[in-house]
Chain A
Amino acid sequence: MTDVSMTVNGRQVTGSVEDRTLLVQFLRDNLGLTGTHVGCDTSQCGACVVHLDGQAVKSCTLLAVQASGSSVTTIEGLAPSATELHPMQAAFRENHGLQCGYCTPGMIMTAVDMVARHGADLDEKTVRDELDGNICRCTGYHNIVKAILSVAQSMQGSGEGQRIAAE
């Protein structure tokens, strides 16, 4: 067992884990943050995407000990407050970018990272290419792509980009 310590959604957390414990298992089983999902065993589906020090990563492909000392944001920590939504969360709802909801947390975390890197320049082809690591079986991606583009477009000259990027 190894002690780990990290900041998760702004809160300092510690735990003692088996060396083989994956970050996603630490988040779900130790911290009870079950919004981050597991959909495959091979790092393909992206249901487990979280932000590690501001970058989208697959939490099934990192050991918890590798994340020790880092800052992690999960879907539960994305919204600015309990009553507000992050613009990407709102866009997924407004565009019907989710059905069963299982891939959704990973999709949103990937999408936030994508928009933070590309800003208003994001186009449909880039969105589709960058969703390579996130699988959805319900939506045919149509409304997911629309949701992500709508957030990117809303950033044009609004200063919104900085806020998303800083998250």
Chain B
Amino acid sequence: MGVEGIGASVLRKEDRRFITGRGRYVDDMTVPGMKYAAFVRSPHAHARIKGIDAAAAKAMPGVIDVLEGSQLKADGIGNLICGWAVNSKDGSPMKMGAWPALAFETVRHVGQAVAVVVADTKAQARDAAEAVEIDYEVLPAVVEGPAALQDGAPQLHPEAPGNLVFDWEIGDAKATEEAFGRAAHVTKLDIVNNRLVPNPMEPRAALGVYDPAEEHYTVWTTSQNPHVARLVMSAFYNVAPEHKLRVIAPDVGGGFGSKIYIYPEEIVCLWASRKTGVPVKWTSDRTEAFLTDAHGRDHTTHVEAAFDADNKIIGMKVDTVANLGAYMSLFSSATPTYLYATLLSGQYDIPAIYANVKAVYTNTVPVDAYRGAGRPEATYVVERTMETAARELGVSPAELRRKNFIRSFPHQTPVIMCYDAGDFEASLDAGMKAADVSGFEGRRAEAQSRGKLRGLGMSCYIEACGIAPSKAVGSLGAGVGLWESAEVRVNPVGTIEILTGSHSHGQGHETTFAQLVSERFGLPVDNVQVIHGDTDKVQFGMGTYGSRSGAVGMSAIVKALDKVEAKAKKIAAHLLEAAEGDIVIENGEVKVAGTDRKLGWHEVALNAYTGHKLPDGMEPGLKEGAFYDPQNFTFPAGCYICEVEVDPDTGKTEIVQFVAADDFGRVINPLIVHGQVHGGLAQGIGQALLEGTRYDESGQLITASYMDYAMPRAWDLPMFTVSTTETLSPSNPLGMKGCGEAGAIGSPPAVINAITDAIGNNDLTMPATPEKVWRAIHAA
């Protein structure tokens, strides 16, 4: 490796602008004549709209117009859709209810947009939004997933009787029942995976600009995937033709999944710009974010695991109700099915698995993929079950896991996935060593002498990343392919631009992607510019989510670099009068191996563009593109160990140590990879200890600000002990697996396993607040 190549902890190129206040986020953008939008939102969880009176609002100072859903519909703007078709077990298609960008007949969750005010200033727009009179007929609401399935529950969509979106299954029910029939022990658990609000620190925003002269639209938006946004807005929502719509996602302040989706607000800003003739900007405030950003998780699950007399797990059955909220968000159907139940085998050789997932509508904010997306829910089910089983069987949790690990690869699970590589024991050993598990009982006794309850919990997770092989996901109902694209442009002076369909919103792509060039040609990363996030600059690409930008995005860059290298070698061979096979490129020089004959990289580049001395028939230029479609998913896995100390008087949990031992395959930049793990752990620990999304019975979100929703603060978290082992993925050229979500996937069960170990009561739900822990201690 070079000093800036693969494996080097290169400091981030993008940092300088962020630490000096020169980042450019959507709300920082201004264009001439720009005006401001404020949305009128439903205060009710479920109501019929009987009338909208905007006369008073329209007369207020600075107001340009007030627009309603009926106008949106009349202009042919389409309903929001879910882009992944999942069928019920009886073969019937999922039941998708209509979701207009501005509601005009019925509202189905608090915060749903009903009208929009455009005014000269932000304050005027908000003042006028409060003056729009809407006559609602309030309807009964339902907020909990299982309650929505009950007879007599309020009905949300005429398209979905009984609020049932789909009733889906995976695995072999008969084989699983047979396994349970011969079980020596069955472990049963009821699990709630709590609803979370993603909360990237930058609220969503959109600036829509319509140019009537060119009939052209531009939108700056907080998106993780601007090309997907353009495709969906043109092909499905009829906002603008694709070649007349430019989508720019500049610096984006975190996403965690919530900025994958195309929301009503960016559609309305573009449409409103055309209607009013002025550029229209909207920026979410934090409470709007709580009320409209897609939420995550919200599963209610019953799991049973069957063990034989030798403590080998022989079967698992899972019954889950997934609360999708009031509407089907873009990938909401895939998250609780193909991203969830396909990981229920965990790291274990389980011969028979059956899972049933019922997805339901409720009067809550739509739920979709949030950091981990289905895999945290699966890991929580599997790892709570394994820990519980170990306690019931009276064996060590580590040894029960070790006994059941998959040890040969490839391994076909009973739930679609074929694990291509892994070494689960290596992660377990690394984690246990780092956490000094053998010294734990001594620490527990010492804590007891201080009146504290100390506990240790672990979690051995596996997840599926590198999404995804397009043919595979197409056969499972995906509406898009999940390849990635790259273009590598060598400039005449030898500097390099990488145009990528991936999008960086904190992941450090501008550095990591440049390291591939440094590795390949020995050029400094400062000679490389990574360009992303603008549909006018970058070729079509699929964006960043599901930890895919390494395994898929960088694989596309590798393919393009292969082509650039091959052409550069041909040019150099011609110039140096050498055989192509003798040319090597290193340290920014192009050499004939074993001789002192060489050219500077910039000389080869310049010659490509002057065309003065190219081989006969060769096109000038040095620029290559590639599309990379993965061969398989990748399977990051690892072992997380959490040690807690609980104060029995207050129920307060302190995390005294957290160890993460991950196998991400090839690591390009350890500094950045460790940072991704830290952030994921914080979100997972936040889920386990702090973050609870609460609705009251009428459907009001009562945790809709940072005063009510407990975001992890610095003092909630310890310093983390992070390390990686490296089993290369055979499924992509760099052997990468992906690191963006693991922390959030693996950590919640480790925390809850640790607390339940400390307090001696396994009956504890997330978030394990001091009150819940105190009650559990006293119920035990």
Asked if B675 and A143 make an inter-chain contact with CB atoms under 8 angstroms apart, the answer reads yes
In the complex, what's the smallest C-beta–C-beta distance from B370 to chain A, in angstroms? 12
User: Does A103 interact with chain B (Cβ within 8 Å)?
Assistant: yes
User: Does B285 interact with chain A (Cβ within 8 Å)?
Assistant: yes
Given A41-B285, A100-B506: A131 and B713 interface contact (C-beta under 8 Å): yes
Chain B residues in 8 Å Cβ range of A141: 678, 682, 713-714, 717
**How long is the Cα–Cα vector from A85 to B18 in the complex, in angstroms?**
12
Chain A residues in 8 Å Cβ range of B683: 137
Given A44-B706, A45-B706: A99 and B506 interface contact (C-beta under 8 Å): yes
**How long is the Cα–Cα vector from A93 to B15 in the complex, in angstroms?**
6
Q: Which one, B15, B17, B18, B714, contacts A127 given CB within 8 A?
A: B714
Asked if B286 and A138 make an inter-chain contact with CB atoms under 8 angstroms apart, the answer reads no
Given A44-B706, A101-B251: A93 and B201 interface contact (C-beta under 8 Å): no
User: Does A15 interact with chain B (Cβ within 8 Å)?
Assistant: no
User: Does B672 interact with chain A (Cβ within 8 Å)?
Assistant: yes
Which residue of chain A is the closest to B202 with respect to CB atoms?
A102
User: Does B302 interact with chain A (Cβ within 8 Å)?
Assistant: no
Asked if A42 and B707 make an inter-chain contact with CB atoms under 8 angstroms apart, the answer reads yes
User: Does B244 interact with chain A (Cβ within 8 Å)?
Assistant: no
Which residue of chain B is the closest to A40 with respect to CB atoms?
B286
Total contacting residues, chain A, CB less than 8 A: 55
Q: Which one, B21, B672, B707, B743, contacts A33 given CB within 8 A?
A: B21
Q: Mark A56-81, 1 if CB is under 8 A from B, else 0.
A: 00000000000000000011101100
In the complex, what's the smallest C-beta–C-beta distance from B123 to chain A, in angstroms? 7
Q: Which one, A102, A131, A142, contacts B715 given CB within 8 A?
A: A131
Chain B residues in 8 Å Cβ range of A45: 201, 286, 706
Q: Mark B245-276, 1 if CB is under 8 A from A, else 0.
A: 00000011110100000000000000000000
Q: Mark B688-717, 1 if CB is under 8 A from A, else 0.
A: 000000000000000001110001111101
In the complex, what's the smallest C-beta–C-beta distance from A3 to chain B, in angstroms? 18
Asked if A93 and B16 make an inter-chain contact with CB atoms under 8 angstroms apart, the answer reads yes
Interface residues of A in 87-107 (CB under 8 A from B): 89, 92-94, 96, 98-105
Which residue of chain A is the closest to B283 with respect to CB atoms?
A38
The stretch that binds A, out of B22-30, B484-492, B535-543, is B22-30
Residue with the highest number of chain A CB atoms closer than 10 Å, among B681, B682, B707, B714: B714
User: Does B454 interact with chain A (Cβ within 8 Å)?
Assistant: no
Q: Mark A12-55, 1 if CB is under 8 A from B, else 0.
A: 00000010100000001000011111111110110100000000
Asked if A99 and B675 make an inter-chain contact with CB atoms under 8 angstroms apart, the answer reads yes
In the complex, what's the smallest C-beta–C-beta distance from A107 to chain B, in angstroms? 10
In the complex, what's the smallest C-beta–C-beta distance from A87 to chain B, in angstroms? 11
Chain A residues in 8 Å Cβ range of B73: none
User: Does A155 interact with chain B (Cβ within 8 Å)?
Assistant: no
In the complex, what's the smallest C-beta–C-beta distance from B30 to chain A, in angstroms? 8
Chain A residues in 8 Å Cβ range of B236: none
Q: Which one, A79, A89, A137, contacts B201 given CB within 8 A?
A: A137
In the complex, what's the smallest C-beta–C-beta distance from A71 to chain B, in angstroms? 17
In the complex, what's the smallest C-beta–C-beta distance from A52 to chain B, in angstroms? 17
User: Does A135 interact with chain B (Cβ within 8 Å)?
Assistant: yes
User: Does B358 interact with chain A (Cβ within 8 Å)?
Assistant: no
In the complex, what's the smallest C-beta–C-beta distance from B544 to chain A, in angstroms? 12
> Besides A34-B21, A99-B679, 20 other CB < 8 A contacts?
A36-B21, A38-B203, A39-B201, A39-B286, A44-B706, A75-B19, A75-B20, A93-B15, A96-B12, A98-B15, A100-B251, A100-B505, A128-B713, A128-B717, A134-B714, A135-B201, A135-B711, A135-B713, A137-B201, A141-B713
Residues of A within 8 A of B (CB): 18, 20, 28, 33-42, 44-45, 47, 74-76, 78-79, 85, 89, 92-94, 96, 98-105, 108, 124-125, 127-129, 131-132, 134-145
